[in-house]
Structure 1
Amino acid sequence: MTSVSFFRLQQLLFAGAFLFLFFIQGVVVAQQKAYNIADYGAVGDGKTNNAVALQKAIDAASNAGGGRVVVPSGATYLTGPFNLKSNIEFEVQVNARVLASPDEKLYTQSAFKDNKGEGSIWIGGQNLNNVTLCGAGTLDGNGISFMGAELEDSYVLKPFNVVDPRPHLLTIMGGKNIRIRDLNIKNSAYWTVHLIGCDDVAIDNITLLNSLKVRNSDGIDVDHSKNVRISNCYIESGDDCICLKNRREYEEFGACENIVVSNCTMSSRSCAIKIGSENMDRISRVLINNCIITKSNRGIGIQNRDEGTVSDVIFSNILIDSHLFSDVWWGKAEPIYVTAYRRANGNNKDAGWRFPKGQTEGRIGKVSNITFSNIKATSENGVYVGGETPGMVSNIMFDQVDLNITKTTNIPGGVYDRRPSKVEGLIKAKIAGFYLDESENITIRNSSLTWGANRPDYYGGAIQKEKAKQVVVKQLDERFEK
């Protein structure tokens, strides 16, 4: 046999094997049983509470070893709380909507265990394996129904006694092999997608749209979770769009690590990409790349306020557009913000859950080995770096960070925001391109600063060093527009 004919035989064998595997995969998909919620009594009139029907369909699919739970297109299915189960694909078909019931009495399960003052659970699930949420339809948290009066910059939060009934849209605790893709998720009254102690999660191609006036309406919260990939998403939220954290209520799950965020577009009234403020463990090995932040308050924020540490984080290839909003929202238009301050003592409803058990004051952990590379930002404020004590913020690299600082709103500036911290929260200061407070080993290289033509008198210089040590500047070009 010639070498040519042998190579041709190899090609044919490979093609045959590929077709066989494709056929087998098609058979498996075709055999996956569909559990249509309408067959379990669901009524798509937008009025009937379909929680029982949804739960029956989910339980049937999971009990059978797995299956596809289908929310059929063309209708709105109102529902109170329900729980996902292992080995299911929850498919919300195109032009179908799952809508949270506005009846506050239905929401009794706390999103934070015994801490009942920070919202409840609408769609939940514990110790899940092999779960996919998908489809071109919509999960709608009906958030405005849980709000008080509308204000210019936000909604009034309704008073409550013990349990805050505002539902978190999706809460998965202890999940393994979780997939969320191709969905529209909107109108959450509190956090939207909350991943607690999950391992191996992929979130891809979702559109997440919350009201920009709803406080606490985080987009995606990665809490004590590992090996998480978030990609190709568009997120608008009043509060943080993507937030990494370690809440004290779930300390048994350990560190938050191995997180990748890529190709996302975000807008927030608080911080588009945030690490903290709740962090009682370790957040490390994080890559955030190829993202666009637009019409936001703060762009990127590391806001460490507890004893946990933040290390080995790279932000790269990011465009930031930020400007000032009211004091309701944390942040003063800082495009990049790296801080470590002890949490403020408080007497609010959740103060007892913010500190280690039995304590009324907290400690602060280190923030170190943070890199910002190829960041282009237009903002009303500059970069802020600072810690409460020496050594808490160190080894911060700014490489190819280009800032354009210009006044774009009528809201007064000249302020940096360190809330919620033991030290003074809002500090008045000259706005600098890089304001370096208590920190060390800071490198700025191959970067630029352009001051816009509209320069109020509180705009200062390129670098303001307060207590910063070992600051190395290797090219920082400063320009002034006329």
Structure 2
Amino acid sequence: MTVLQQTSGLPVFSVDRFGAAADGRTKDTAAVQAAIDAAHAAGGGIAHLPPGTYLSGGIELRSRVTLHLEAGATLLGSTDLADYPPHEGPPADCDAGQRHLVFARGATDIAITGTGTIDGQGPAFWEPSGRPPTPPDRHWADVVTHNWKPVGNNDRPSPMVELAECRNVRIEGVTLRNSPGWTLRPIACDTVMIRGVIIRNRIDGINTDGIDPTACQNVFIADCDIETGDDAICLKSENPYGDLRVTRNVVITNCVLSCCCNAFKLGTATRGGFEDITFTNSVVHNGDVPLNERVISGIAIEMVDGGWVDGVTVSDIRMRNTRTPIFIRLGNRGWGQPSPVPGRLRRVRISGIDATGAILTSSITGLAEQPVEDVTLSGIRIETDEGGLREWVDREIPEEVAEYPEARMFGRLPAYGLYIRHARGIRVAGAEIRSTVSDPRPLLVADDVAGLVVESLDGTAPGPGTALLDLRDTRDAFVTGCRAPRGTDVFLRAGGSRSQDIALAGNALSRAAVPVETTGGASSDSVTGGGTA
């Protein structure tokens, strides 16, 4: 055992004292692991990587050990899969498998710190997919990562950093780069702090999720800068290592996120519960890039595997060139269930969203037999550049009950601003949604919605023959504090035989040629208070 120095009362074990060459060519796996093991054997300590490049296969963190990468130090993942011993639990041939560059299981008081870099040499594990080029007019529904596929049978070091069933985890200051798959997954962990981490993966990297807290509790993610190909921060609910736990008490704040999938997401693996989740004070961005390199959804809250979402707060998020600002989906994929049953999605609060450069409609959609419940959108400002077509207004939208959830899953939607279907207890307050180009679709379409409140909603007039608010089979709705924009033909249209108890009060409708219209089987008394103010 070689002790280099004392830091904060902990012994420091430098990997060069265990024979590390640090030349980027010689495999230093044994030296790095020896430093970790020595620190563990001493009752706790720091495994220290001085400046240099340490070529390594899989290493395993132990309890009470900090892996510290000095500025100028790079832990460089080997491109030889044989250098990564498998760890039982997950299947070997899936996106999150058994091989990892850094792994820990059942460890307590572990950390990865410093301003050095962990580089997984990800492109060495990919090959071209051979798919034909995507026509430019389909880039809105495409993702550039599909240009690649994993080599062979998808057995690669993914997640690059996997921390399973650990307690008191700290990851701070490091740069994680070129992951072969998922980058960082704490799974079934308690008390996890991730601060000041930089993630840099290629925009076309296949399955290169940034941070995936899975079945964890008491998680704090702050001050992170993530640019990657797949989801930037994605909460999941599954546990191939053991019993499934609720994903609970997660705080994400002060982050800058960019990718060509979803910036902040719950899902897709949603076997269990998500409770008390907060995402706040962050930026989601893309530059002037092709549409298939843009973020698909800035906020994606999904429940498709029979679990539940109960208590999510999102606030103060700035988005630029995000395809879809908000996507909320309750489906019934039933992954792994012999007789799938839908889960529940409720108590979601989203406020203070300022999004420009949107090209797809935000949506809240559930199932006919299980609606999304209790969602509030407030203080939302969205500018969309989509420019829809009149034929989309009456397009039949597929249910896609068991399909993989993604904001583009329904195709083009009948509203330019917000589409709501199979939902209950939805409130839209203080929102402004404007189209920067001519768009003949309604601002808002609600279909099979009960308990809808629309308050102080402002937007762009859709043009002749189209209602600003299009309520289909909507019950117990209240519209107040709205002003018809100049050029409005119909302010509110109620349609469908199930539409009833729709009340208007305190709206300024003098600019609307027709304040209220009923059609498609809706009775003339289904709407009250539709006079011009």
- TM-score where L is the length of structure 2: 0.75
CA contact 1:117–1:164 (8 Å) conserved in 2: yes
**Quick check: 1:186–1:208 contact (8 Å CA) kept in 2?**
yes
d(CA) in 1 for partners of 2:398, 2:359 = 13
Q: Are 1:103 and 2:80 an aligned pair?
A: yes
- 1:463: which partner in 2? 444
How much has 1:298 moved relative to structure 2? Answer: 1.2
CA drift at 1:202: 0.7
AA at the equivalent of 1:421: A
Tell me the equivalent position of 2:33.
55
Q: Which runs of 5+ in 1 are unaligned?
A: 1-26, 324-332, 345-353
Say whether the 8 Å CA contact 1:111–1:171 is kept in structure 2: no
Alpha-carbon offset, residue 113 of structure 1: 2.5
Q: How does 1:429-468 map to 2 (within 5 A)?
A: 429-453=413-437, 455=438, 460-468=441-449
**Residues 1:305 and 2:284 are matched in the alignment:** no
**Counterparts of 2:254 and 2:123, CA distance in 1:** 29
C-alpha separation in 2, matches of 1:423 and 1:201: 29
Report deviation, 1:127: 0.7
Distance 1:473 1:64 in 2: 63
Query: TM-score with structure 1 length normalisation?
Result: 0.83
**Deviations 1:6-60, CA, capped at 9 Å, x for gaps:** xxxxxxxxxxxxxxxxxxxxx9835421101111111111111211111111000
- Give 2:253's match in structure 1, choosing from 253, 259, 262: 262
Alignment CA distance shift 1:267-1:419 (3 Å): farther
Identity of aligned residues (%): 25
Q: Give me the whole-angstrom Cα distance separating, in 2, the residues matched to 1:364 and 1:82.
A: 40
Between the aligned partners of 1:69 and 1:420, the Cα distance in structure 2 is 50
SS in 2 for 1:293: strand
Q: Which amino acid aligns with 1:468?
A: V
SS of alignment partner, residue 185 of structure 2: strand
User: Quick one: which amino acid aligns to residue 456 of structure 2?
Assistant: Q
Aligned to 2:164: 173
Alignment-mate amino acid for residue 157 of structure 1: K
SS of 1:223's equivalent in the other structure is: coil
Contact 1:314-1:371 at 8 Å conserved across structures: yes
Which of 323, 326, 336 pairs up with 1:355? 336
Q: Do the aligned partners of residues 95 and 35 (structure 1) sit closer, same or farther apart at CA in structure 2, a change above 3 Å counting?
A: same
1:91 aligned to 2:75?
no
Task: Say if 1:111 and 1:389 are closer, same or farther in 2 by CA, change over 3 A.
Answer: farther
The count of aligned residue pairs is 427
Of 195, 201, 207, 2:198 maps to: 207
Q: Note if contact 1:311-1:369 (Cα within 8 Å) is conserved in structure 2.
A: yes
- Is 1:227–2:218 an aligned residue pair? yes
* Partner amino acid, structure 2, of 1:343: R
The letter of the residue matching 1:113 is P
Give, as a single letter, the amino acid of the residue that structure 2 aligns with 1:429. L
1:326 alignment partner in structure 2:
none
Structure 2 distance, partners of 1:419, 1:146, is: 33
Distance 1:30 1:463, change over 3 A: closer
- Check 1:72–1:214 CA distance in 2 against 1; reply closer, same or farther (3 A cut): same
Q: Return the match for 2:402 from 421, 427, 433.
A: 421
* Alignment partner, residue 496 of structure 2: none
The SS at the match of 2:442 is: coil
Cα gap change, 1:429/1:363 in structure 2, threshold over 3 Å: closer, same or farther? same
- Looking at structure 2, the residues matched to 452 and 257 of structure 1 have their Cα atoms a distance apart, in angstroms, of 39
Greater displacement, 384-393 / 422-431: 422-431
**SS of structure 1 residue aligned to 2:43:** coil
C-alpha separation between the residues in 1 aligned to 2:15 and 2:351?
A: 48
CA distance in 2, matches of 1:446, 1:65: 56
2:15 aligned residue: 37
1:145 paired with 2:124, answer yes
Higher helix share: 1
Distance 2:124 2:442 in 1: 47
The residue type equivalent to 2:381 in the other structure is D
- The answer to whether the Cα contact below 8 Å between 1:72 and 1:93 also exists between their aligned partners in 2 is yes
Instruction: After TM superposition, give the deviation of residue 389 of structure 1 in Å.
Output: 2.9
Aligned partner of 1:338 in structure 2 is 328
How large is the Cα RMSD of the aligned pairs? 2.7
SS in 1 for 2:128: coil
Q: RCO greater where, 1 or 2, for CA within 8 Å and sep 6 or more?
A: 1
User: How far apart, CA to CA, are the structure 2 residues paired with 1:293 and 1:41?
Assistant: 43
Counterpart of 2:434, as a letter, is T
Query: Is the Cα contact below 8 Å between 1:299 and 1:321 reproduced in 2?
Result: no
Q: Does residue 72 in structure 1 map to residue 42 in structure 2?
A: no
CA contact (8 A) 1:47 1:78 kept: yes
- Asked whether the equivalents of residues 380 and 407 of structure 1 are also in contact (C-alpha less than 8 Å), the reply is yes
